[in-house]
Every structure is written in C-alpha cells, then in structure tokens.
Structure 1
Amino acid sequence: MTRSRSSYTALLAALCVALAVVMGLAVSFGSVRIPVGDVWAIVGARLAPGTFETWWTAARESIVIDSRLPRALTAAVVGASLAMSGAVAQAVTRNPLADPYLLGVSSGAGFMVVLVTVLGIGAGMLGVFTIPVAAFIGAMIPLFLALLIGGRYPQPTAIILVGVALGQIFSALITFCLLVIADERHITGVMHWLAGGFGDARWSTLIFPTITLVVVGTALLFSSRWMDVLQTGDDGAAALGMNVRRFRVLSLLAVSVLAGAAVSVAGGIGFIGLLIPHLAGFIVGTRAIRLLPAAALLGAVAMVAADTAARSVAQSTEVPVGVITALVGAPIFVWMLYRQYRRLEQ
C-alpha cells in the first residue's frame, strides 16, 4: 500500500513537471520566439521583484505576462475542468462514452453565443465578459431544463435522455440561425468559437473558471468515495445507505457547471473530456480519489499542448483547438478501444 501510494505521488509530481514544461513551451512559442529560460525569468521577476536582473525588453515582458501566460493558464484550467468533469460523468452514469457535454451544455452555450453575435442581443453590454457570460448562461439553460423535466421521473436515465434531446434542439437552433439569419462575417466568428480556442483569454476571464474548478473540483474529490460505491450498482449502493438518485443528480449538476465554466471561455472543445479519463484510468486505475486528480493534470497537459499546436500548425491563421483535439484524440480513442476489446477476447 505504501509503495502504491508513493508511486501515485511520484506520478502526480511527474505530471506537474510535465505541465510546467508544456506551459513554458506554450509561452515561448509564437510569432516572437522567447527562450524558455527568459519566460520563467520574467514570471519569476513578476512574482518576486528583484530576484532577477532584467535583461529582456518591456515588449517581451508584455507578451509573456499580458498575452501568452494567461492563455496557457486558461488552457490548463479548461483542460483540467473538462477531464475531471468527464471522469465524473463516466463514473456516475457507468457509461464509458459519457462526456462533460452530456446534458447539452455545449449546445446551449453555443446558442447563446449565436444570439449575442448574430442578433446582437446584449452585444458589448459587459465588455470582454459579454461572450463568456452569455455562454455560461446558455450552458445552464439545458441543464436546468433537463433537471426540471427529467427529474420528474424515477429512472436516472431520464435526465440524461432529456439533456441529449435538448442538446439536439439547441444544435438545430444554432444551425438555423447561421443558415437563415447570419451573414458571412458572423458565421466565421461563431464557427471559430464553436470549434474552441483561447484567442480571447485574459487574466480577467481566467478568474471564473479557476474558482469553479477549485470549488467544484474539491467537492467532487470529497465525494469520490460515493462514486466508487456507485460502481457496485444502484441496488448495492442503496443497500450501503446511499441516496443514489440524489447523488447522481448532484454529480451531473457539478459536471455541467464545471463544463459550462470551461465552455464559457474556450468554446466547445471535444475529446478531452471523453478521452483523458480513459487514459488516466489506464494509468492509475478507476478509484475516483486517484482518477480525478490524475485526469485533471493529464487534461491540463493535453489542452496546453493542443493549444500550442493550434498556434503553430499554420503560420497564416490559427487553427481552432477543437480541430486539433479531434484529429489527435479520435485515433487514440479508437486504438484504446481496440486494445481493450482485444484483451477481453483473449
């Protein structure tokens, strides 16, 4: 047990180092290449003034502190949020194909962004916060409708099925608005948001998803024991004194809030919430207390790496991060499924 615990601690430490490395590279890469050593020196000088003698220009310091660092941190927070919420969604539904957008969060957020962008409803009302706030409100609409409608029925799958249906409705509304109402300029902007990205990341927009990750993530870690109990089946969990229905509803609520906060600043980025929990489970096992932190760190590393690749693939334009995660994540997911089912056949 001690050896297993020390191995797990070493793994988390290695993932933290990997996250620091990819974040350093993310801040270093760009139209203006800044050496990684300079990046950490600039960050260190800002955190502890007087630690380093300044040898860099004010322009480079502004690039690091005001532009690339908040973008990298936002990518890390969003990746951790999606991966953790995906792991919880898969655990409480006992469905390996569940993801954070299970209750239509992404589609609802996208629809509100379309309303703000295409119809101009509330456009510019909150400045740089207009799109994030609209997206989060939109993400919560299908969630609460799913809880209101599906919560009337005793079957736990009712909420999920209602959420899936609402997601399809909002996706149809997005398509209708883009085809019938929007002009070409609006379509380009909305499509980039729907595919996901961190081009609008700022220190101010980082606050809300970070607080959400800390608060909701901590609550999920404290409830990890009940997630493991739920794996015994609803009847077994109920026999151990668990209110299965209430726990599942609260867990799905936490999943959607966490995913909604991530979507509000990054758009609908797929595959991180679906793939990373499987990868983390392959490495550390399925116990929730081990799975959730590992999934969060792996998700942060993967998202920062994907954002760096999105900025580096094409020089003339920035590829949406969702395109990168889909192109890389889909083959890996298929390979993992192939290995799993081949092992079961043997």
Structure 2
Amino acid sequence: MASRGGAFAFVALCLLDLALHGAAEPLAPAMFVFGDSTVDVGNNNYLKKCKIECKADYPRYGVDYPDQAPTGRFSNGYNLADQLAQLLGFPESPPPFLSLPNDSLIPQMSKGISFASGGSGLLDNTSSHACGEVLSMTNQVRNFTSLARQWKIENQTAADLVTKSLFFISVGSNDLFEHADITVDNRNDTEFLQLLVASYSSYLKDLHRAGAKKFSVVSPSLLGCCPSQRLIAQESKDFDKYGCFGSANNLSKQLYPMIASMLHDLTLELPGMNYSLGDSIRMAEGVFNNTHTPAYNFTVLSKACCGVGDFGASGCNSSVPLCQNRANYMFWDKFHPTDAASAVTAKELFGNTGSFVHPINVQQLVTSQP
C-alpha cells in the first residue's frame, strides 16, 4: 500500500507477529468479510450496472499491490480486510464472492469469502443512485447464509468451522454520508441512527442463526475528515476542531455508542456470541492529535494522495498526479485511507488492549473458546 518502504515494513510486522505466535496456521479457520468499500476486494468488478465511481478496477488503484494490479480494492495496495487477514495468518483477504465459480463456492467456505461491496450501507437503498448497483448488506448476509446452509449439508465439520471463524464487518459510512447531505431542517438524526442500528442488529442475528459466533465490528470513523467532506466543510463553513465537516462527524460520534450498546445487548440475547468493537473515531483522533509521535508517521492528513484540486478531492484515476511518499498520507483518494493508514487500524484492531477496541481485541476474540 504505502511507499515501498512502508509496504516492506508492514510485511516485516506480519512476519514478526506470526513468529511470535509460533505457528504457520491462521488463528481462525476462515474469515468472512461484510461491508463497504473499506473492505471490498473486487465484488463490484462483477456488477454490470455498478457505475465507475463505485469501482476501483483501474489505475492508479493498486499501484502498491503486488504486480501493481488494480483489483477492485479502493486503495493503493492492501485494504483493511487484507491487513487484518495478514495479522491472522492469511495471505490477504478472502476472495470476492462474485469472482468465484459456482462449483468452487462451497469448497472456498472452509477458507473464507468476502461478500463486501463498495457503496453498500446498512440500509438497502444506500448508494442506489450514486452507484447504480451494489451488493446490499441484505444480499451479502443472504448470500452467506445460503452457502452456509448448503455447506452444512455437504460437510459434517462445517458447523464447527463457522463457529470458530471470524466475521469481519465494516459498514455504515455510506449511510452517514448520504444523511449528512440532507439539510438539518429536513432530517431526524435520532430516528435515522436508530434505524441503522436496528438494521445492524438484524444482520448480526441472521449471521448468528447461520452459526456465526465471533464478530469483529468496525464503527464508521470521522467521516467528515476525508478529503471529499473537507471540501464540503469549506463550502458550507461547517467546520469542527479538526477542520472537518462537522455534520458528518457528529453523526459518526452519535452512532458509535449506539452500536456499542446494541452489541452488548446481543451478547445477552444470542447464545455464544462474542465480539470485538473497533472505535475508529478514537483511532482517527489519535492520529489527528499526535501527528509527530513515533506511533504515527502521517504528515499529510487532509489531502488525498491520488487527486487534484482542493484536498485532492477530484477523484483518483490515471490522469491525476500521484504522491510519492504514500506512507505519509492518511488518505489515498477522496474517501479511502492509504494502505499505510489501514495497516495502523488493523494493528490496533488485532492487538490493542482497551484504548481503541472493546471489550476484547481480535486476537483475543479468535483465540477464545466458542
């Protein structure tokens, strides 16, 4: 993802982590990924009606991915799902669901599948206009549960494997982006956020009924700080203390405790459910408040690496300039983090001991007894 040096450093970190665990086998038998463009590894490539604005299968995407291949990841290299998968001992994220031939879907279930789709949200109609076509969370969960049902019929150990596998979910940002665009006088934030949380709860219950027990959930971050939203803040004069779009960040900050409460309540309702919740808001604040500490190497926090104009918010393609020091940029394009930023997030999700993840981290989650 980042510059070559940043990429090599992260590979070294992964190797060290595996060495410390003393085993070549992944810490979970499989990883199943759900959500939006922060974790999509190419499902949108196969959606014929999906607009190019919601695809990443062209240069300069993938400039730091092996062979500089644009795979559909909304990143210069690996994305958050890849980074976390590597810390778990996998080579990268599991493959996109739509890339798999029908006869390989069931065999692939023992290793994991990514159902994530750029542009998707917690609500079915999210991004329907902006993207044309995405795999909604409803369809993502339905695709998994259908495969799980068939897999259990064909494989006696399938149920046990599902129980021990990691279910990684990063979703909600696109819902908030769209809602923040509505004028304050014409929206009800509380009612909207409650609807999002109710939808989230429904998806988790469906996955639990299909056998899922271990959930790693990532909350939407400070959305108002990505380059596209900083541009909106500049035009609307709606700034917060970071110079970001205040309305969008306020929505993120309201949603996080609601997700946290919902997850806690579900553990009391759903037998065997366990979870790790990543607080992306506090992670982002840690970067913004500690820009010169050794823990964070990001010196460009408001401008996209790939893009032109104010904040580099024009969009990323082969015709726009590309920054060279990608490991120092927090944002790759007008919406998405660089692979260097994703690496920091993945490391915190995996091993943080309380500041950014609750009640346990992903390493503790996957090694716990189901």
State the TM-score bracket (shorter-chain normalisation): 0.3 to 0.5
Rg: which structure is higher? 1
Asked which structure has the greater RCO (Cα within 8 Å, sep 6+), the reply is: 1
TM-score, with structure 2 as normaliser: 0.31
Larger relative helix fraction: 1
TM-score, with structure 1 as normaliser: 0.32
Larger relative strand fraction: 2
